[in-house]
């Protein structure tokens, strides 16, 4: 069994080498670093902070939604007056807009690619760094600038258009939409630069011997994500520029008052935003492929199928954006076309899920936290994916569009998919990043709480939607209250689970047991260097001559018949 | 936006220790660095093309919604100035390509000469653009509510209100397309001056000319966009 | 009691009346609903089957192949063409079936039979005006329909995008300010069902709803003859108040204790002085009211700059304008 | 597995060092391409004066495509470069095409499925003297008067 050989002198004299944490000291060494690992850590801290803020907002308006009337957001003085209710609803609208914009543009698009991706792409490729290190740092600063502008716009202004900025509601507004548009315009460039960096790194910086079929599937997923980021985000930039100029000069491309067509804005917007949801989920697929393969010590089932399905999802995702607009006055012909193509993108996703389950067959599955999150991902993402089929069918979508069914669907895919995979990835690579092992029991407890809280929060919203509760409502009919109360209690449990996870992970950084270079027995390159890794990753450039899933435990002659 | 372009296309200038001085530490040999830089540039050009595609689509849609308005409104544009600008930009594309060729042949003086001509052509392009814009502003042919300022009925914000799909829509598209293109020409001038300075310091040779080649690719793309922009805005009857 | 508006007060509770609604779906009140529920059930059962299959396998494998000791052997198989082909082909076939079924019902929404009842729906920030051009009737937030007779909606909005959704009939279509949209559905079940606005349209988006009343044929005839929802005729005394309720009530209150909604309350404002943004104080006389309706951006009262009231010029004819101005002038104790 | 120490992969083969084998075009080719571009520019201008009416858009686009081919092929070296860069360029054009085609697939077929429904709607509006195309809705009956698109006085 060929494994990765780190050529050159023996392993012993690496211990005195400093890890990237301690190689350079001082704030300036962090702020001006071009080390992909440090940039990855800074992105991780930033995106997790944004996730925390947006998550707390979600819990706040879940509390509000426990009662049919608007009451939690109505401040005491005006309680009971029409003015109070109006202000309360205004605050609710601002809350869900901030929740949406922060989660989509600030947290989930950069989270996995820029945090874990930045840290592990060069490591798993056997490279010293990404192709353009300074561009990587520029991308981080652009992300910070964009986030500050966006936060300033929403907190200062009256931005209550939802994260989709549909005209003419958004372009008839004044200040806040313009500032928020500039914020997201800047955030888009951070995403483009990460995409350019990853595409070139994967093409040009692979270790000798690592052909395309010997790359870990996490890299394949990041490559497909980078392709989408490069091809879709510029259209978001130009859409926001058109919206900006439209709001300022009232030009009338989107605003019907001046001769524009609001459905046209939806085309421009969703041409970016649907591929963007694949930017969000594909890295999650990559992490799950790693988790399930490493923790069941089995070669991933159908490596080529999963790798190619990542890339085919990346391409087909550009053909399906119209399924967000079936009832928006889009022509029936175009709706039919988009519905058919939407089902084309469902098949590769199904292949992936089947392959992951097949990987478990006859493995040696260790019940640790990363594997638990991998199995939870299979549960929640499958529900998310299957409910997407309802929304892809034309007639059923007429009923479900813009109802809570859609809210439940995309939370099952985004939260149940990307965030659960991110948690799994964090636990899987925590020892490699920080050199310390988290407490296993605490992790399993956290995973269980998150699983229960998540399902309780969002499964009840499927019934809410199909029973007829529209989306983005501050007040609703009394008979929906029971579902909402269940959902709100679920969100409290989920919040407890997530804060608990944050606590023990941070605790592990300082107090955790020392973790060796390869705690899980992984075979891909990142496990071949110290943890935390030295500044330029590998002492000598590694040679790769086998697939990253050739675990020593695989018994070549354990054929079908006997165990 | 412009800072990232500069930092991206020539992030490899100052190498160190035993390798050739232009080789970055995280690359293994010059070939890898050069092909990485070129691929990075081409992927970056892909994002530029897609960004401009949004504007071209907006143009085609406005044209399909209001065909006669677009045909009448673009009479105001001076196609002769547009043609001169096209010639200037194509010529600057030639001199840019010759500059890259000169660096590849280690002819530094000719390369500097070509770069200077390219910069001059770019500035000429911007001057002609300035002339066009000032005549538009004078006639009040401005986008959106600023259109035909002096014909506004006293007291109302807009030109004749309820006047939708009028020439202000066309000039909105015109100013956005030529404006964004002009911005990219200005960024190009910045890059070219930076190239000229480094070339005079002898940084480039037939061994290492990646930054020149990348800025050349960027400049040719700016010319390419103008090649499509010119007939659509100025000529099409 | 919250200002949930007409939705709560006049709408009997959905479930109480909507017997026959299942765990997932509200009661089926239209022919389109039957098609939607059929496809929904088909996808639901397929999904449950695949989900149980996948989760069963996952749990079974996770338990059976749990790691017992460090050198537990694992199987080398990592792909099998037959299996991979199977689990690509079957989903593809199922997807094509689902697409075709969905497409067939979807197109039915756009086909208008000749005998359809014509209903024009105007969506405007936070209230619906439903007009029956052939019956000279106009209701606010209420749609009255005869059972078993198709009705076709012609919908338009006068400000932002709204969306008209009758959950019981499973029918929904966005209401655009730039052009007409509509759908055609046949109510099949007598009863009262709510309808909602589902495209986010601002502050009172969650109150922009109403009720659909499906009556039997003769009840409907009686309703047409009745005085309920009379068409707007300028001579009737309540012409002004009804216009106010239609165009202005979403943002302005006209009662003594009504506070500020989006714009100021208009109670007792006639012939009072108001501070104007960037200008001298103005007397709220007939001219000021008329000008603020047609050109709201000219004289804005201090404190309301950011609200940008929609302009009604070109949307109200003089009769309507005079009626509203006269009604506002009567708002004092 | 050969272990010779060559790193950096260009399209699967180890990258050759930069300086040898890099194609430098003769001056003659550059000038010829420049000449062709000038001729085509003149052709574009002449074609637009010829007043072909609706066909002029198609011809202008065709000529622009040819000019673009020259610039991309020769000035940007795509003809002599590694095929992968051409792949990146043409896949970008493909995605721009997808964006255009699908958006126009919607815009041009708005009433296709239910043409008679669309026409019926048009007739319906004749009574309301406000055609449905993006106009102020509900500008009903006498008072509002017809809204025209007057020519701006000073614009010529």
**pLDDT confidence tier of residue A283, bands split at 50, 70 and 90:** very high
Cα dihedral angle (C34, C36, C39, C41), rounded to 10 degrees? -70
pLDDT in tens for each of the 237 residues of chain B? 233 333 333 333 333 345 677 777 788 788 888 889 999 999 999 999 999 999 999 999 988 888 888 888 888 888 889 999 999 999 999 999 999 999 989 888 999 999 999 999 999 999 999 999 998 888 777 777 677 654 444 433 443 444 566 778 888 899 999 999 999 999 999 999 999 999 999 888 888 889 999 999 999 999 999 999 999 998 877
Per-residue pLDDT tens digits for A250-259: 787 888 877 7
In eight-state DSSP terms, residue A207 is: P
- Give dist(CA A159, CA A165) in Å, integer: 9
* Min distance C236 CA to chain D CA atoms (Å): 18
Tokens of C199: 């495209």
Does D140 or A407 have the greater pLDDT score? Answer: A407
* Nearest residue of chain C to residue D112 (CA atoms): C110
Do the Cβ atoms of A252 and B172 come within 8 Å?
yes
What are the distances in angstroms from CA C216 to CA C13, C170, C190? 20, 20, 6
| C320 to chain D, closest Cα gap in Å | 9
Contacts of A297 in chain C (CB under 8 A): 67, 72, 74
Chain B hits for A268, CB-CB cut-off 8 Å, are 54, 57
Using the Cβ of D83 and the Cβ atoms of chain A, whether some distance falls under 8 Å is answered with no
Percent of chain A exceeding pLDDT 70 equals 96
Q: Element (H or E) spanning A284, and its range?
A: helix A262-295
Q: What is the pLDDT of residue C73?
A: 80
Residue-wise over A79-110: b if at least 16 C-beta within 10 A, else e? eebbbbbbbbbbbbbbbbbbbbbbbbbbbbbb
Among A122, A231, A395, the strongest candidate for a mutation testing the D interface, having the largest count of D CBs within 10 A, is A231
Q: Are D14 and D7 in contact (CB under 8 A)?
A: yes
Burial class (CB in 10 A: 0-12, 13-18, 19+), D132: middle
Q: Report pLDDT for A291.
A: 93
The D residues from 133 to 152 touching A (CB cutoff 8 Å) are: 134
Residue D94 neighbours by CB under 8 Å, 6+ apart = none
* Beta strands at A436-437 and A513-514: parallel, antiparallel or unpaired: antiparallel
> Phi-psi category of C62—alpha, beta or left, where left has phi over 0 and alpha has psi -120 to 50?
alpha
Task: Specify burial of residue D8 (Cβ count, 10 A radius: 0-12, 13-18, 19+).
Answer: buried
**Interface check C260 vs A, CB under 8 A:** yes
Name the minimum distance, in Å, from the CA of C203 to any CA of chain A. Answer: 5
| All structural domains of chain D with their residue ranges | 23-79, 82-110
The answer to whether the bond into A168 is cis (omega within 30° of 0) is yes
Q: Is the dihedral of CA C231, C233, C237, C243 positive or negative?
A: positive
Q: Give the model confidence (pLDDT) of A118-144 as tens digits.
A: 999 999 998 888 999 999 999 999 999
C128, C135, C125: which is closest to C221 by C-alpha? C135
CA distance C327 to D1: 92
Q: Tokens in use for D114?
A: 């239910």
CA distance A356 to chain B (A): 32
Report the first-to-last Cα separation within chain B, whole angstroms: 35
Q: Do A334 and D7 touch (CB under 8 A)?
A: no
Enumerate the β-bridge partners of residue A365: C66
DSSP alpha helix (H) spans, A205-261: 217-249
CA-based nearest residue to B53, from A304, A234, A43, C309: A234
| Residue A322 CA: distances (Å) to CA of A392, B62, C92, D103 | 10, 20, 20, 9
CB contact under 8 A, D102 and A235: no
Q: What is the DSSP letter of C187?
A: B
Facing A204 at nearest CB: one of B3, B36, B172: B36
Q: What is the model's pLDDT at position D117?
A: 53
Distance from CA of B3 to the nearest CA of D (A): 23
ipTM reported for the complex, 2 dp: 0.86
Q: Which chains have at least 3 CB atom pairs separated by less than 8 Å from chain A?
A: B, C, D
Nearest CA to A313 out of A344, A338, A288 is that of A344
* Mutation site for A-interface testing, chosen from C1, C98, C262 by largest number of A Cβ within 10 Å: C98
CB C11 within 8 A of CB C211: yes
Task: List chain B residues with CB under 8 Å of A135.
Answer: 4, 7-8, 11, 40
Residue of C nearest to D137 (CA): C158
Below-50 pLDDT ranges, chain C: 1-19
Q: pLDDT below 70 — which residues of chain D?
A: 1-22, 111-156
Q: How confident is the model at residue A179 (pLDDT cuts 50, 70, 90)?
A: confident
Instruction: Give the residue from B62, B156, B158, B164 with the most C CB atoms within 10 Å of its CB, the best one to mutate.
Output: B156
Of B28, B140, B166, the CB nearest to D149: B166
Most confidently modeled of A278-282, A548-552, B5-9?
Answer: A278-282
A540, exposed or middle or buried, with CB in 10 Å at 0-12, 13-18, 19+? exposed
| Cβ contact, residue pair C101, A393, below 8 Å | yes
- Spatial neighbors of C287 by CB under 8 A, at least 6 apart, are none
Question: Which of A475, A549, A550, A559 best probes binding to C when mutated, by most C CB atoms within 10 angstroms?
Answer: A475
Domains and CATH numbers, chain A: 26-558 (1.20.210.10)
Phi, then psi, of A54 in degrees rounded to 5: -65, -35
Q: Could you say which residues from 68 to 87 on chain C have a Cβ atom under 8 Å away from some Cβ of chain A?
A: 68, 71-79, 83-84, 87
- State whether D7 and A330 contact (CB < 8 Å): no
- Report d(CA C54, CA C57) in Å as an integer: 5
Whole-angstrom distance, CA of residue A393 vs CA of residue A409: 14
Whether A553 sits inside 8 A of C73 (CB atoms) is yes
Indicate yes or no: CB of C317 within 8 angstroms of CB of D144: yes
From chain A, the residues in CB contact with D107 under 8 A are: 261, 264, 331
pLDDT at C268: 84
Interchain CB distance below 8 Å, D99 and A211: no
Which of A283-297, A438-452, B145-159 is least confident?
A: B145-159
pLDDT in tens, A39-60: 999 999 999 999 999 999 999 9
- Nearest CB among C298, C311, C313 relative to B155 is that of C298
Residues 6+ apart with CB under 8 A from A401: A326, A327, A391, C163, C172, C198
> Least CB-CB distance to A379: which of C55, C77, C197?
C55
In terms of Cβ atoms closer than 10 Å to its own Cβ (0-12, 13-18, 19+), residue A545 is middle
The answer for residues whose C-beta is within 8 angstroms of residue C93's C-beta and 6 or more apart is: none
CA–chain centroid gap for D152, Å, is 31
User: How many residue pairs from chains B and D have C-beta atoms closer than 8 A?
Assistant: 177
pLDDT of residue D128: 34
Reported as type and span, the H/E element at residue A110 is helix A109-110
What is the average pLDDT across A382-410? 94
| Measured CA angle at A284 (ends A350, A385), to 5 deg | 35
**C211: which strand partners?**
C142, C194
Strand order in the sheet with C151-157: C137-140, C127-132, C117-124, C151-157, C184-185
d(CA B222, CA A190): 22
Cβ separation of B32 and A204 shorter than 8 Å?
A: yes
D98 contacts in chain A (CB < 8 Å): 318-319
Q: Select the residue of C111, C184, C317 nearest D140 (Cβ to Cβ).
A: C317
Calculate ∠ Cα B192-B198-B199, nearest 5°.
85
What pLDDT is attached to residue D22?
A: 63
Beta-strand pair D13-14/D9-10: antiparallel
Residue C118, classed as helix, strand or coil, is strand
B20 CB within 8 Å of a chain A CB: no
Q: CA-CA distance, A35 to A128, in Å (whole number)?
A: 9
Contact call for C317 and D132, based on CB within 8 A: no
Q: How far apart are CA A406 and CA A400, in angstroms?
A: 7
Distances (CA, A) of A485 to A97, A460, A481, A495, B224: 22, 9, 6, 15, 59
In degrees, rounded to 5, the angle at the alpha carbon of residue D141 between the alpha carbons of residues D137 and D146 is 70
Contact A331, D106 (CB under 8 A): yes
Cα gap A405→C202, rounded to integer Å: 21
Q: Please tell me the distance from the alpha carbon of residue A319 to that of residue D144, in angstroms, as a whole number.
A: 44
Contact A300, A221 (CB under 8 A): no
Q: Does domain B48-234 have CATH number 1.20.120.80?
A: yes
- The DSSP string of C27-91 is ---BHHHHHHHHHHHHHHHHHHHHHHHHHHHHHHHHHHTB--STT--B------HHHHHHHHHHH
Instruction: Tell me whether residues D100 and B228 touch, CB distance under 8 A.
Output: no
A204 vs B223: CA distance, rounded Å: 29
Nearest to A251 among B44, B46, B144 (CB): B144
In this complex, how many residue pairs, one in chain C and one in chain D, have their CB atoms less than 8 Å apart? 56
Please tell me the predicted confidence (pLDDT) of residue D15: 52
Q: Chain D within 8 Å of A318 (Cβ-Cβ)?
A: yes
Tokens of B229: 């922009």
Those residues whose C-beta lies under 8 Å from the C-beta of residue A515, and which sit 6 or more positions away, are A431, A432, A435, A436, A437, A531
CB nearest B11 (choices: A132, A203, A257): A132
Residues in chain C closer than 8 A to B162 (CB atoms): 313-314
Residue-level pLDDT at A15: 52
Contact C47 A386 (CB under 8 A): yes
D27 touches chain A (CB under 8 A): no
Residue C20: per-residue pLDDT: 58
| pLDDT in the model for residue B9 | 35
Of C129, C111, C108, nearest to C120 (Cα)?
C129
Token reading at C117 = 């009842």
Task: Flag whether residue D87 sits within 8 Å of chain B, measured between CB atoms.
Answer: no
Peptide bond between residue A532 and the one before it cis (omega within 30 degrees of 0): yes
| Location of structure tokens 């194609």 | D23
Q: Which residue of C has its CA nearest to B163?
A: C314
pTM greater than the 0.90 cutoff: no
Q: Which residues of B touch D81 (CB under 8 A)?
A: 38
For residues C48 and C39, what is the distance between their CA atoms, to the nearest angstrom? 14
| Cα–Cα distance for residue pair C243/A127, rounded to 1 Å | 72
User: For residue A532, what are the contacts with CB-CB under 8 A and spacing of at least 6?
Assistant: A19, A20, A21, A37, A432, A433, A434, A435
**What is the residue extent of each domain of chain B?**
48-234
């Amino acid at each position: 069994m060929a494994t990765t050989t780190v050529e050159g002198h023996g392993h012993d004299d690496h211990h005195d080498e400093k890890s990237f944490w301690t190689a350079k000291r001082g704030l300036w060494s962090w702020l001006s670093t071009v080390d992909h690992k440090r940039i990855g850590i800074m992105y991780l801290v930033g995106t997790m902070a944004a996730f925390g803020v947006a998550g707390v907002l979600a819990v706040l308006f879940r509390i509000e939604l426990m009662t049919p009337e608007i009451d939690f957001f109505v401040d005491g003085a005006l309680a009971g007056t029409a003015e109070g209710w109006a202000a309360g609803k205004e605050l609710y609208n601002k809350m869900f807009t901030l929740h949406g914009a922060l989660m989509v543009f600030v947290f989930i698009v950069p989270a996995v690619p820029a945090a874990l991706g930045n840290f592990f792409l060069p490591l798993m490729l056997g490279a010293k760094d990404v192709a353009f290190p300074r561009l990587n740092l520029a991308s981080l600063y652009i992300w910070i600038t964009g986030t500050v502008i966006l936060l300033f716009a929403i907190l200062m202004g009256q931005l209550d258009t939802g994260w989709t900025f549909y005209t003419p509601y958004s372009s008839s507004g004044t200040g806040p939409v313009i500032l928020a548009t500039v914020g997201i315009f800047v955030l888009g460039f951070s995403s483009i630069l990460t995409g350019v960096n990853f595409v070139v790194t994967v093409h040009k910086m692979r270790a000798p011997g690592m052909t395309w079929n010997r790359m870990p599937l996490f890299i394949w997923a990041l490559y497909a994500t980078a392709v989408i980021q490069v091809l879709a985000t510029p259209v978001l930039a130009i859409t926001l520029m058109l919206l900006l100029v439209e709001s300022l000069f009232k030009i009338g491309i989107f605003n019907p008052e001046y001769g524009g067509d609001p459905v046209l804005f939806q085309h421009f917007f969703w041409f970016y935003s649907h591929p963007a949801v694949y930017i969000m989920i594909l890295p999650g697929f990559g992490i799950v492929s790693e988790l399930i393969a490493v923790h069941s010590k089995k070669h991933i089932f159908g490596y080529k199928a999963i790798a190619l399905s990542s890339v085919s999802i990346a391409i087909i995702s550009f053909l399906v954006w119209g399924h967000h607009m079936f009832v928006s006055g889009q022509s029936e012909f175009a709706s039919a076309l988009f519905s058919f193509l939407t089902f084309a993108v469902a098949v590769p996703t199904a292949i992936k899920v089947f392959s992951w389950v097949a990987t478990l067959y006859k493995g040696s599955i260790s019940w640790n936290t990363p594997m638990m999150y991998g199995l939870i991902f299979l549960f929640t993402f499958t529900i998310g994916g299957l409910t997407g089929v309802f929304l892809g069918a034309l007639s059923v979508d007429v009923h479900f569009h813009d109802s809570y069914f859609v809210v439940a669907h995309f939370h099952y895919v985004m939260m149940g998919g990307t965030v659960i995979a991110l948690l799994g990835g964090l636990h899987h690579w925590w020892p490699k990043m920080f050199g310390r092992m988290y407490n296993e029991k605490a992790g399993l407890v956290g995973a269980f709480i998150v699983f229960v809280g998540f399902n309780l929060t969002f499964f009840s919203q499927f019934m809410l939607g199909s029973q007829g509760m529209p989306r983005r409502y501050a007040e609703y009919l009394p008979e929906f209250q029971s579902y909402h109360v269940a959902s709100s209690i679920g969100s409290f449990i989920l919040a407890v689970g997530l804060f608990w996870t944050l606590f023990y992970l941070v605790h592990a950084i300082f107090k955790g047991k020392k973790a060796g270079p390869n705690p899980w027995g992984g075979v891909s390159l990142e496990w071949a260097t110290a943890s935390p890794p030295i500044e330029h990753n590998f002492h000598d450039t590694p040679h790769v001559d086998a697939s990253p899933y050739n675990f020593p435990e695989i018994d070549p002659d354990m054929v079908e018949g006997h165990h | 936006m412009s800072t990232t372009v500069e930092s991206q296309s020539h992030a490899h200038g100052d190498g160190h220790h035993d390798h050739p001085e232009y080789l970055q530490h995280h690359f293994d040999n010059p070939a890898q660095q050069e092909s990485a830089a070129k691929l990075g540039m081409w992927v970056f050009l892909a994002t530029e093309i897609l960004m401009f595609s949004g504007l071209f689509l907006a143009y085609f849609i406005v044209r399909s919604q209001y065909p006669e308005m677009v045909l009448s409104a673009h009479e105001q544009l001076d196609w002769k100035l547009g043609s001169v600008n096209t010639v200037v930009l194509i010529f600057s594309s030639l001199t840019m390509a010759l500059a890259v060729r000169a660096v590849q042949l280690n002819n530094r003086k000719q390369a500097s000469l070509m770069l200077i001509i390219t910069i001059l052509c770019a500035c000429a392009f911007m001057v002609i653009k300035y002339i066009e814009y000032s005549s538009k502003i004078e006639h009040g042919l401005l986008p959106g509510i600023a259109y035909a300022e002096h014909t506004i009925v006293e007291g109302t914000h807009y030109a004749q209100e309820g006047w939708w799909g009028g020439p202000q829509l066309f000039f909105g598209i015109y100013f956005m397309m030529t404006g964004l293109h002009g911005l990219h020409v200005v960024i190009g001038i910045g890059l070219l001056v930076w190239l000229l300075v480094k070339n005079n310091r002898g940084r480039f040779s037939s061994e290492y000319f990646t930054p020149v080649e990348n800025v050349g690719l960027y400049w040719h793309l700016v010319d390419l966009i103008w090649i499509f922009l010119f007939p659509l805005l100025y000529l099409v009857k | 009691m919250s200002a949930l508006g007409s939705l709560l007060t006049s709408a009997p509770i959905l479930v109480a009346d909507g017997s026959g609604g299942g765990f997932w779906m509200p009661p089926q009140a239209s022919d389109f609903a039957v098609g939607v529920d059929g496809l929904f059930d088909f996808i639901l059962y397929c999904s449950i089957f695949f989900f149980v299959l996948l989760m069963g396998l996952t749990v079974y494998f996770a338990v059976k192949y749990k790691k017992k000791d460090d050198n537990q052997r694992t199987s080398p198989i990592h792909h099998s063409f037959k299996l991979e082909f199977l689990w690509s082909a079957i989903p593809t076939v199922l997807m094509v079936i689902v697409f075709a079924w969905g497409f067939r019902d979807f197109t039915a929404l756009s086909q208008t039979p000749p005998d359809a009842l014509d209903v024009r729906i105007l969506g405007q920030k936070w209230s619906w005006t439903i007009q029956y051009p052939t019956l000279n009737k106009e209701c606010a937030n209420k749609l009255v329909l005869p059972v078993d007779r198709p009705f076709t909606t012609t919908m338009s909005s006068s400000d932002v995008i709204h969306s008209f959704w009758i959950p019981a009939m499973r029918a929904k279509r966005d209401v655009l300010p730039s052009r007409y949209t509509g759908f055609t559905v046949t109510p099949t079940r007598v009863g009262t069902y709510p309808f909602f606005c589902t495209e986010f349209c601002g502050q009172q988006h969650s109150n922009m709803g109403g009720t659909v009343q499906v009556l039997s044929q003769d009840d409907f005839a009686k309703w047409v003859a009745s005085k309920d929802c009379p068409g707007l005729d300028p001579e009737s005394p309540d012409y002004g108040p009804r216009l106010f309720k239609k165009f202005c009530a979403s943002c302005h209150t006209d009662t003594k204790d009504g506070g500020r909604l989006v714009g100021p309350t208009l109670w007792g404002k006639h012939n009072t002085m108001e501070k104007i943004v960037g200008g001298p104080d103005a007397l709220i006389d007939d001219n000021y009211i008329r000008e603020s309706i047609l050109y709201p951006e000219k004289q804005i009262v201090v404190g309301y700059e950011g609200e940008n009231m929609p302009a009604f010029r070109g949307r109200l004819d003089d009769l309507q304008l005079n009626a509203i101005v006269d009604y506002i002038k009567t708002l004092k104790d | 597995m050969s272990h010779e120490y060559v790193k950096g992969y260009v399209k699967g083969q180890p990258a050759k060092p930069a300086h040898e084998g890099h194609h430098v075009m003769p001056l003659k080719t550059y000038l010829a391409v420049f000449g062709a571009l000038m001729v085509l520019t003149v052709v574009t201008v002449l074609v637009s004066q010829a007043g072909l009416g609706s066909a002029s858009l198609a011809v202008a686009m065709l000529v622009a495509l040819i000019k673009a081919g020259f610039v991309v092929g020769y000035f940007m070296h795509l003809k002599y470069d590694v095929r992968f860069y051409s792949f990146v360029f043409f896949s970008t054009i493909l995605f721009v095409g997808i964006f255009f085609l699908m958006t126009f697939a919607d815009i041009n077929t708005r009433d296709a499925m239910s043409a008679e429904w669309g026409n019926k709607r048009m007739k319906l509006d004749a009574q309301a003297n406000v055609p449905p195309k993006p106009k102020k809705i509900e500008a009903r009956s006498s008072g509002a008067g017809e809204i025209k698109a007057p020519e701006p006085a000073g614009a010529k």
